[in-house]
Structure 1
Amino acid sequence: MADPHSVSSPRRILSLSKKRRATLSFPDPDDKASGFGMSGEHGPKPSEVYGFVGAISTVVTTVFFLVWAYVPEPWLHSIGIYYYPSRYWAVAVPAFAMVTIVSAMGLYLGLNFMMTPPPTSLNTMFDEYSREPSSFVPSVEGDEQPIEPISDIGINQINDLMFHDVK
């Protein structure tokens, strides 16, 4: 059993894990029993399939868009394509998309500025999640120090660290 007054710190756990000897094993390349992949699963993962289909469909869609936007009408008629959207939309849709993206970014920045308290507000230093430093005094064995509980650093300590040499 562990001593009830000892501290279980991450440093102690790390130092104990360093003392263990690591073992490393490599798979046998001639062993065909495991099949495709190390985990025994067969075939591609669904995310790989979705990524492949997404990449191919993006390339095909881009080619169709460029053909529709730049190939002259007589060439499209010569290969049998008579019905297609107006060329106006080849310019209008990307322009509308860019205006929408820029407007959304401006709206997002504006909302963030509106929600941020002013610099003179005490809410910039304290809120319902603030934690005062505790007077935690651990029982120390040797040179290992446990990690202190999480807390906020006071504004006086920050000012002292940043501005104590400024004259």
Structure 2
Amino acid sequence: MSNPSPTPERAIYGFVLYLASIIGFGLYLIWAYVPESWLTYAGLTYWPQKYWALAGPTYFTMALLFAYIFYIGYNFTITQPLDSMNTITDEHARPINGDCQPAGAIPQIGDLSISEVNQRLYS
């Protein structure tokens, strides 16, 4: 298990990634907004077409949106139907036995039965 506390290595990696993202964004802005003739005059001749300055982020955004919608749809397909017993309990359920606790004690961690949930919510 890794330690989440800051270490010098993590600080260096974070700073390098920060600088790389700033430089990458600066290069993107130069490529997207500076005219092609200026870039050629400066000796920068191997650049992708300007079309990709808008198409790339648009495709990426749409791919993220599709992945988000696909993830929600996939969760709907693997969810058990409402009349399935798996929506009520399964083999990993830990029922709470409140009989052996003293009065006023904090209850044990466990799963409530569906009838107890309904009683507490809709009594």
Match of 2:118 in 1: 159
Query: Could you tell me whether the CA contact under 8 Å between 2:39 and 2:45 is conserved in 1?
Result: yes
The answer to which structure has the higher helix fraction is 2
Alignment of 1:7-18 (within 5 A): none
Q: Aligned pair 1:149/2:108, yes or no?
A: yes
Q: Offset at 1:132?
A: 2.4
- The number of aligned residues is 117
Runs of 5+ in structure 2 lacking a partner?
A: 1-6
1:76 equivalenced with 2:76 (yes/no): no
- CA deviation string 1:107-146 (max 9, x = no partner): 11111001111222221110111122336525x6xx984x
Structure with bigger gyration radius = 1
Q: Provide the rounded CA distance (Å) in 1 between the counterparts of 2:98 and 2:22.
A: 62
- Which structure has more relative contact order (CA 8 Å, sep 6+)? It is 1
Residue identity over aligned pairs, in percent, reads 33
The 8 Å contact of residues 136 and 148 in structure 1, kept in 2 or not, is answered as: no
Residues 100, 87 of structure 1: CA spacing in aligned structure 2 closer, same or farther, 3 A cutoff? same
1:103 has 2:78 as partner: no
Q: TM-score, length-normalised on structure 2?
A: 0.81
Structure 1 gap segments, 5+ residues each: 1-43
TM-score (norm 1): 0.62
1:91 alignment counterpart = 54
1:49 corresponds to: 12
Cα shift readout 1:2-38 (whole Å, capped 9, x = no counterpart):
xxxxxxxxxxxxxxxxxxxxxxxxxxxxxxxxxxxxx
* Cα RMSD (Å): 2.1
